[in-house]
Structure 1
Amino acid sequence: MKKLITLLITLSVCSCIWAQTPTFPRNGVYDERPELYAFTNATIYIDARNVLENGTLLIKNGVIVGVGKDLQIPNGTVVTDLKGKRIYPALIDMESDYGMPEVKRTQGGGRGTPQQIESNKKGAYGWNQALNPETEAGKLFTVNNAKADEMRKLGFATVLTHHHDGIVRGSGALVTLATDSENSVIVRSPVSAHLSFSKGSSGQQYPNSPMGAMALLRQTYYDAEWYKNAGKNVEYNISLDAFNALSGLPTVFEATDKWSLLRADKLGDEFKTQYIFRGNGDEYQRIDEIKAAGGSLIVPLNFPAAFDVEDVWDADNVSLAEMKHWEMAPANAAALEKAGVSFVLTSALLKTKTEFWTNLRKAIEYGLSETKALEALTTAPAQLLKCDDKVGSLKTGAWANFIITSGNLFNADNVIYENWIRGKKYIINNLNQADIRGTYNLSMEAEKGKLTISGKPEKPEYQIVLSDTVKITPKVTYLNDLISLNFQTDRKAPNATTRLTGYREGTGFKGSGETAKGTPTKWEATLQEPIKLTEARRDSTRKPAPNVGKPLFPFVGFGNAEKPKSETLLIKNATVWTSDDAGILPNSDVLVENGKIARIGKNLSAANARVIDGTGKHLTPGIIDEHSHIALFSINEGGQSSSAEVRMSDVINPDDINIYRQLAGGVTMSQLLHGSANSIGGQSAVVKLKWGGNVSDMLLPEAQFIKFALGENVKQANSGNPTSRYPQTRMGVEQVFMDHFTRAREYERAWDSYNSMKTKIGMPVPRRDIELDALVEILNAKRFITCHSYVQSEINMLLKVADSLGFKINTFTHILEGYKVADKMKKHGAAGSSFADWWAYKMEVKDAIPYNAAILTKVGVLTSINSDDAEMARRLNQEAAKAVEYGGIAETEALKMVTINPAKIMHLDKRTGSIKTGKDADLVLWNNHPLSIYARPDYTIVEGAIYYSTEGDDKRRDEVEKERARLVQKMISAKTGGATAIRPPFRRQRMWHCEDVEGVMAEGEEQSEEEKK
């Protein structure tokens, strides 16, 4: 009785809620009868973890008013008996563009494309067209019945949709997939905020790189804070107003791969914002880092197709990473579940929506639990969107969003019959249509045989075998228990058709028809055996998931099964080139402990040390490359004349195979520089080459440098584009420096003045400008300049500018006419980082000479040899040796040009660059004289961990060959088994150089998959 009273009170309350008068007048008679439905005897999944057997679901006017057993069903209720069937909460997709206008992306961007520097957007909006926080999905949304029907058939009732255009994309709207008007379909708007690193339809030059997108977002956060506190007195800005309005909403950040996700997390941490990340399906490759990010993930089920590798040459175009991703991607969701990462699932990124259930069932086959899968499509997205009181479960008071199925939702044989959205029924398949699949004894008056019905319940497949054992595929029409079969019994007489018509009676069929000879006949099909259903196993009784191996660190060929760790090492009897005052120490030992050089001497011993025999070999400090562009996703943000705000640390790519290749050449540390597309470039990243580590493992944050540039590149003389970006002359380049540093001084004074005030009440806070922050750091000797330079006159110009404005040039890199200005460089205190013998590759290097490094050194300029090239860096020891040939530099001094000298240039000589007690154990053991062309490293050690060895390399080559062979055979088997296999495209990894700009490729060059992402 108590339960009945509660139910009646609930019904009464709901009647009050739903009896409200709508704002739209109705052209006709108002029919306000309550819509009461009861579904009885069903297995009801109230949520992913609570299941009710033989339960009843009561709904009224689109709301669940009761769920349980033995419920009292009010008079006037439409009752449906669902004995043997199941009810699940309808699914929710958090990543959708349903109902949004098409994004018309700007074409071009390559050579010959005119530049757009400023925004074309009319109105009091922000300065960059990629920032669209004012975009409201709720205002753009229009019902699309065809797309809604496509999603409803999959079991979805609700989606989070937003306009996928820009870096800041505005707000999302939660909408149902009903066929009502927009006013009825939109549940809540705004409900979320959306960000990405893609500028979308914007044709503006800035940003043209991932690091530029990161900087633009960073600056936008600062601008929004300033605008909220003081900026409204300075300007009216619709975009910043809107951005601040989004701050309280769940924020979804679209990531294109695992590193993009972690880059976004870094930004969120800076501004104390925890994002929800839309992933790309490769999160398993860095599961520890993904878990540490702390955000929930929206995980796609976009598994890659197998490659067609039957042709040996085609197979060579497929990388080991691509092969392993094909094998491991289906286990991504399972890996996230096992690691305890919060996630939801999405149908986004699939080539066709019809792949959704196939791929989801595959994910379950590979270890994802059914409970987690259902949770990730119902309660989890509802909770993230803070609407779990309305959707995601079948609890009392929630909307009547549910699906009726034939059985286990994750069973391949399952049929979704109906999808109810806010109490409105959408028929997917006939609920009352019986499952007729099975084997039947077929008898006609003149002939007997078998009728087999297979396929899916909603789409049966038919086959007849008569007494002559010939298999016949009939044409069948079956609807509402009426059936007709047409087939030819004689293939030699294709126009002779037997036609049978009948009806279902009990478990079989009977009827009449006409044979191919025109003779009337009676026929009957008697069920011999129903189809055996393959019920999906419960999580506790499932088959073990397929073995897909383990990820590599990094996830490429030659990656580590486990990340290298620092060891206690004792290198015995080597010729030790210290690159220090001690010079060369013959037959000496070096002990490494805790990543540091512990002792140097003869006849050393240490308990538990790994002993490496250095007899006849040479031990040197690790080679340091002062100018490199490896391990980066991009190198130039060329949209403006100054990009001092961008940070190369934002776009480090730990998966770059060039890290391993350069370890094989003895390189242990590199300065990853911005390119030379603009006068004031981006902030450098100095990294240790820790193959398999993540960004934080590699990065040396204490090294604070920035790239400047002179010459042809900064005025875009060689860009191939109709250029409008300032500067376009060498005089303009000088003015850029004068203007920016003058502004930086004024900016610093404004902050000093503000900070010095005893009371700040009523005083406007200055606007934080991260571009000028970097320049102020230069003025205060907290950040140091590395300047791309060639020509004497421009070098003189920048020295003059620096002296007049009171800052220093730390390093002139390239500096191919350095021999002409060595005295001035020494007076200023600038170092030189030169090529050994590059010249004649463009006009401004025509005066380069191979004696440059030797002359600079003899004048007293601190000099190093750099690569600026992924290939040259593998032989920097040989490049240094050229200073012996060209200029007579001593061998020990030549080696210093790639060890202690670049360490001094980067202000890291107290830590690395020489073999000295207490320094980092960054070491190379060579099999020959280190300046010999025959020398190669036997061991390359970074902070006491062996990251490369010839022995290990031989082992890795063998492992790669075996693993490739295994995966090739697996792909061939998949193709043979009917899986889709695509032909491998030819790709060549892009090697970055100073002048390379995003989207502008050299002739005949293609982007790698990582670059396309």
Structure 2
Amino acid sequence: MMRKILLVCFSFWLFTSYAQETYTVNGVKDERPGLHAFINATLHIDYQTSIESATLIIQKGKVIASGKDIKVPKGAIIHDLKGKHIYPSFIELSSKIGMPKTENNRSPGPQLGPKKDGAYNANDAIKAYFNAHEAFETSDSEAERMRKAGFGVVLTHNQDGLVRGTGTVVALHDGPENEIMLKENASQHFSFDKGSSTQDNPSSLMGAIALIKQTYLDAKWYSNQNEMVDVSLNAFNNNQSYPQFFEAGGDKLYVLRADKLGDEFGVQYIIKGNGDEYQRLDEIKATNAQLILPINYPEAIDVEDPFDALNVSLGEMKHWEMAPYNLKMVADKGITYSITSDGLKDASKLSAMISQSLEAGLSEEQALKALTYNPAQFIKMGDKLGSLTKGKYANFIITDGSPVKKDTKIYENWVQGNPYKYQDYTSPELAGNYTLSVGSDGYQMEVKGEPGKEKFKIIVNDSTSYDVKSEISKQLISLSFKDESKEEEEGKIRLSGWLKEEGLSGNAKMPDGSWVQWTATLNDEESAEDSEEEKKEEEKEEDKNELGSMIYPFVAHGNTEKPQAETILIKNATVWTNEADGVLENTDVLLENGKIAKVGKDLSASGAREIDGTGKHLTPGIIDEHSHIAISRGVNEGSEAVTAEVNIEDVVDSEDINIYRQLSGGVVASQLLHGSANPIGGRSAIIKLKWGYSPEEMKISWADKFIKFALGENVKQSNWGERNTVRFPQTRMGVEQVFEDAFIRAKEYEAEWKKYNALSKRDKANASAPRKDLELETLVEILNSERFISCHSYVQSEINMLMKVAERHGFRINTFTHILEGYKLADKMKEHGVGGSTFSDWWAYKFEVNDAIPYNAALMHGEGVVTAINSDDAEMGRRLNQEAGKTMKYGGVPVEEALKMVTLNPAKLLHLDERMGSIKVGKDADVVLWSDEPLSIYAKAEKTIIEGIVFFDRDEQEEKLDAIQAERARIVAKMQEEKSNGKSTQKAKPKSQIIYHCETEIENYSSLK
């Protein structure tokens, strides 16, 4: 036994020198082979293969044999691991160990260009040139933190920028860098966060996406150039052969955005998610992406104060409850993933977090696979890492059980054959409850603590105990205590003995000087009382594990199932057709297969859901021509004067509660517009408000393409503060010149491509294709009437100017939106062919709207301009029917024409009127059933139906609110139970949603959803 202990101790200072031959040795060179044999262990060769009483042989940092009945080589240092387990060490794929610290030293004023000198990219957020292996510096403290958690290898990279350069694979031991670096260039990394770049562009999520897209296009173009040097693009191209990693951040929708971006360029990213993928599993499964999943599950929220509870959303509450189920639900969906400790304040919490997922149904095998095998495959190092077969690195941990369970001890972590000891596995485990017999006296003794840190107590009853002094040295033990139940005795009982497999025993000297024998036997069976108590605890745990339903979207008012299309027959309603038939009394409308199938009296349809419309009014759904709801992380990309490359379609937020709120006001579709920070803004998204559906399902795929232009104070930055005097334009004259210059460049760009495309196949082979520019591509679409302009506008002179610019370049403006001086030049608008979408009665909220009048809509309409009423505001979007009604008061617009201003007319302006905007057989079944005349202030939208699907039903609203209240109460009770059980909690933090308007300008977009 003593020989074995010495051999074990010897092994901890024996470090191999095989990989350090290029380094000078200070002293006598150690030529010993580093040969170790680990015997009698439960050997987990990989995540699914376990062998009892097995042997692992390692030499020179590699596995040379593993399995059963393996002969121990002569000269090997033997480690007897009877009762212990060996597992492959974990692999971390999201790390910044050894990377330089980044600082964001933002200058007070605008920064339009890059700061980095040299032949680098025009944007500082593109850091493809960064090579992690060149910057890497060993960090012993960080490596030690990771080793203690069971990790042996990390993929580290510079977590800074949109394109972050390469990652390098590093072994977590304290050798020199040329020994621990296993793979220099192992990956290329991306994110949606521009990081330390202080350059203005991008200032929004859509801007970040557009910049990455342009980088792909530029890199492809650059590969055929011979007369220029761009270090960033050259590196970007060279890095394409490595696995491509994307840190999506944000929420589950960001995973979808990252994958969609990759699909556009034929790249399948390995995507780091956010831990809420369970909320959009079907969509994420469809990406075919491999994932890296964090396990930084949130703590329960302290909701003892009912007012604090009001600050916590239902989505936050449900995520606290369901986050530990993410790993299982993703695995059950057949999605391959690895687990990351990134995001945990302390990597040692890894096993505790995974244990929560095990309790939620994740199997140990799935967890181990996600920590070993999968990450090795992701970085194409499965031949060297992830298991303990012959030839692989000797990276393993020695434990007392499964390392994915919270109470498991990691005794040692061996990295490339280098041992790191955290607990002595040769010391026996003494923790437990014992029956102590000292002569004829009996006691109950409790032992708690890890080997070497045990604390002994004599337990008298539930409320009374006293300490036992203890001393343990190898296999010897000494205990002493005073038997406080015997008042007549003075002095202590002193026990001396041995640690044996069957328990503790030895001789004891009593207070009177006599000697007796003593034994301490571990209690195997619990008392009936304990069993009953445990049963109660299990029942309590079952109650605690009651889980709420999934909802789509994962916010209040989400549905437990996505609403589906029905055949619906609305009977006996007053139908506002917006067609030549006008308003039809006591009329039926049949909705079938997502279309308006029939309009008439006394209709019937087998199997249809019948809705009684008696006394109610049925209209086409409201369409909002100008909205900013349902947009993620920034409505403006105002960093440059022209940002036609950015696209709201890339950042549609299907989880925005304003979608549901506007459904309650009868809105069925919206144009989501870029803001008004620059003359030429971004492309728009036209969506139907399909609550619970994904962003892609909400987009109207057949709609024409639109873009936002802007005029006025915002674009020349007159209201941005005194520091914003750098970006052109600064005057109204400059605004016009931006438009002129943009379309001149677009025409030159188009001519260049036409010239290239006209070349023969042979000539093309010898020529270089022009650089594809997303900004100019969009402007060419406008010139060719393939994309249409909605222009933010106020002042007559500017409106007139833009119409003339368009006419000079051979196209027409489609819509002047919230045009408050349209009444001054409605005749010219009619002549130009442009529509007007306006506010009903907003005015005087800034200087350039001082001439606005509430008769504007009526006057434009009277001149024959297609006129709509828009919202530009999440709250106003809920009552557009009332806004349209105001045109009856201000200007005497007939009621049917007023209704068209929020239904058929915006459909015309958005080129949707072939399928939307009126009740006509064959059109989309997008209708609203109102309780009263639709423009009345008393009218309530009772049912809002899109393509034959009921997305809002006021009849179910009371039931929905009750369900929300009950769900909140249930989860609050669970959180209170967590707190009463001594679990740590977090404070309730009120969160407010940013409601976007045209003028919303956000610098730190990366912190916003």
Structure 2 length-normalised TM:
0.92
Deviations 1:637-673 (A, max 9, x none): 1111111000001111100010000000000000000
Q: Of 133, 140, 151, which residue of structure 2 is paired with 1:156?
A: 151
TM alignment of 1:523-542, pairs within 5 A? 526-530=519-523
Instruction: Give the secondary structure class of the aligned counterpart of 1:600.
Output: strand
User: Match for residue 3 of structure 2?
Assistant: none
My pick for the range that moved more, 148-157 or 863-872, is 148-157
State the 1:103 CA deviation. 2.2
Q: Does 1:322 align with 2:322?
A: no
Instruction: Give the secondary structure class of the aligned counterpart of 1:809.
Output: coil
Distance in 2 between residues matched to 1:19 and 1:991, nearest whole Å = 62
User: Match for residue 548 of structure 2?
Assistant: 549
My pick for the range that moved more, 69-78 or 782-791, is 69-78
User: Match for residue 732 of structure 1?
Assistant: 734
Q: Does 1:435 align with 2:429?
A: yes
State the 1:155 CA deviation. 1.1
Q: Does 1:345 align with 2:339?
A: yes
Instruction: Give the secondary structure class of the aligned counterpart of 1:472.
Output: strand
State the 1:414 CA deviation. 2.4
TM alignment of 1:90-169, pairs within 5 A? 90-106=89-105, 113-169=108-164
User: Match for residue 294 of structure 1?
Assistant: 288
CA 1:115/1:560 → structure 2, altered by over 3 Å: closer, same or farther? same
The answer to whether the 8 Å contact 1:84/1:407 transfers is no
CA 1:530/1:835 → structure 2, altered by over 3 Å: closer, same or farther? same
TM alignment of 1:47-58, pairs within 5 A? 47-58=46-57
Q: Does 1:196 align with 2:197?
A: no
TM alignment of 1:330-729, pairs within 5 A? 330-441=324-435, 449-456=443-450, 460-465=454-459, 470-473=464-467, 478=472, 480-481=474-475, 504-506=498-500, 507-508=503-504, 526-530=519-523, 546-633=545-632, 634-701=634-701, 702-720=703-721, 722-723=723-724, 724-729=726-731
Please tell me the residue identity of whatever aligns with 2:230: N
CA 1:314/1:544 → structure 2, altered by over 3 Å: closer, same or farther? closer
Q: Of 174, 180, 189, which residue of structure 2 is paired with 1:179?
A: 174
Distance in 2 between residues matched to 1:260 and 1:938, nearest whole Å = 34
State the 1:526 CA deviation. 2.9
The answer to whether the 8 Å contact 2:495/2:518 transfers is no
CA 1:635/1:487 → structure 2, altered by over 3 Å: closer, same or farther? farther
Q: Does 1:249 align with 2:242?
A: yes
Distance in 2 between residues matched to 1:21 and 1:529, nearest whole Å = 49
Instruction: Give the secondary structure class of the aligned counterpart of 1:376.
Output: helix
Distance in 2 between residues matched to 1:502 and 1:603, nearest whole Å = 100
Q: Does 1:770 align with 2:774?
A: yes
Deviations 1:479-511 (A, max 9, x none): 6456677989999xxxx9979796644332668
Q: Does 1:945 align with 2:954?
A: no
Distance in 2 between residues matched to 1:451 and 1:967, nearest whole Å = 40
Deviations 1:560-615 (A, max 9, x none): 11111111111111111011222111111111110000111111111111111111
User: Match for residue 13 of structure 2?
Assistant: none
Instruction: Give the secondary structure class of the aligned counterpart of 1:221.
Output: helix
State the 1:476 CA deviation. 5.8
- Mark the runs of 5 or more structure 1 residues left unpaired by the alignment: 1-16, 535-541, 1001-1006
User: Match for residue 9 of structure 2?
Assistant: none
CA 1:565/1:440 → structure 2, altered by over 3 Å: closer, same or farther? closer
State the 1:898 CA deviation. 0.3
Distance in 2 between residues matched to 1:218 and 1:477, nearest whole Å = 67
Q: Does 1:258 align with 2:252?
A: yes
State the 1:83 CA deviation. 2.0
My pick for the range that moved more, 473-482 or 983-992, is 473-482
Q: Of 181, 205, 209, which residue of structure 2 is paired with 1:210?
A: 205
State the 1:970 CA deviation. 1.2
Deviations 1:499-528 (A, max 9, x none): 97966443326688999xxx9998986322
Distance in 1 between residues matched to 2:371 and 2:860, nearest whole Å = 66
Distance in 2 between residues matched to 1:423 and 1:528, nearest whole Å = 39
State the 1:848 CA deviation. 0.5
My pick for the range that moved more, 79-88 or 882-891, is 79-88
CA 1:157/1:439 → structure 2, altered by over 3 Å: closer, same or farther? same
Distance in 2 between residues matched to 1:468 and 1:212, nearest whole Å = 64
Deviations 1:97-154 (A, max 9, x none): 112122223458xxxx311111110111001111101111111111111121111111
My pick for the range that moved more, 349-358 or 888-897, is 349-358
Distance in 1 between residues matched to 2:600 and 2:95, nearest whole Å = 66
Instruction: Give the secondary structure class of the aligned counterpart of 2:318.
Output: helix
Distance in 2 between residues matched to 1:848 and 1:344, nearest whole Å = 58
State the 1:207 CA deviation. 0.4
State the 1:68 CA deviation. 2.1
Q: Of 983, 988, 993, which residue of structure 2 is paired with 1:984?
A: 988
Instruction: Give the secondary structure class of the aligned counterpart of 2:207.
Output: helix
The answer to whether the 8 Å contact 2:18/2:60 transfers is no
The answer to whether the 8 Å contact 2:84/2:401 transfers is yes
Q: Of 744, 747, 754, which residue of structure 2 is paired with 1:745?
A: 747
Instruction: Give the secondary structure class of the aligned counterpart of 1:229.
Output: coil
TM alignment of 1:992-1003, pairs within 5 A? 992-999=996-1003
CA 1:875/1:45 → structure 2, altered by over 3 Å: closer, same or farther? same
Distance in 1 between residues matched to 2:130 and 2:483, nearest whole Å = 64
CA-based RMSD? 2.7
User: Match for residue 819 of structure 2?
Assistant: 815
The answer to whether the 8 Å contact 1:640/1:678 transfers is yes
Instruction: Give the secondary structure class of the aligned counterpart of 1:984.
Output: coil
User: Match for residue 535 of structure 2?
Assistant: none
Please tell me the residue identity of whatever aligns with 1:732: G
Structure 1 length-normalised TM:
0.92
User: Match for residue 850 of structure 1?
Assistant: 854
State the 1:277 CA deviation. 0.7
The answer to whether the 8 Å contact 1:486/1:500 transfers is yes
CA 1:354/1:157 → structure 2, altered by over 3 Å: closer, same or farther? same
My pick for the range that moved more, 219-228 or 502-511, is 502-511
State the 1:26 CA deviation. 2.2
Distance in 1 between residues matched to 2:90 and 2:994, nearest whole Å = 42
Deviations 1:818-863 (A, max 9, x none): 1111111111111000000001111111110000000000011110
Deviations 1:449-493 (A, max 9, x none): 4431134557544433369973235676656456677989999xx
CA 1:1011/1:670 → structure 2, altered by over 3 Å: closer, same or farther? farther
The answer to whether the 8 Å contact 1:487/1:499 transfers is yes
CA 1:273/1:992 → structure 2, altered by over 3 Å: closer, same or farther? same
User: Match for residue 758 of structure 2?
Assistant: 756
User: Match for residue 833 of structure 2?
Assistant: 829
Instruction: Give the secondary structure class of the aligned counterpart of 2:614.
Output: coil
The answer to whether the 8 Å contact 1:448/1:466 transfers is no
Deviations 1:928-966 (A, max 9, x none): 000100000111000000000111212211111111111
CA 1:443/1:98 → structure 2, altered by over 3 Å: closer, same or farther? same
Distance in 2 between residues matched to 1:279 and 1:775, nearest whole Å = 35
The answer to whether the 8 Å contact 2:625/2:868 transfers is yes
The answer to whether the 8 Å contact 1:447/1:467 transfers is no
The answer to whether the 8 Å contact 2:439/2:516 transfers is yes
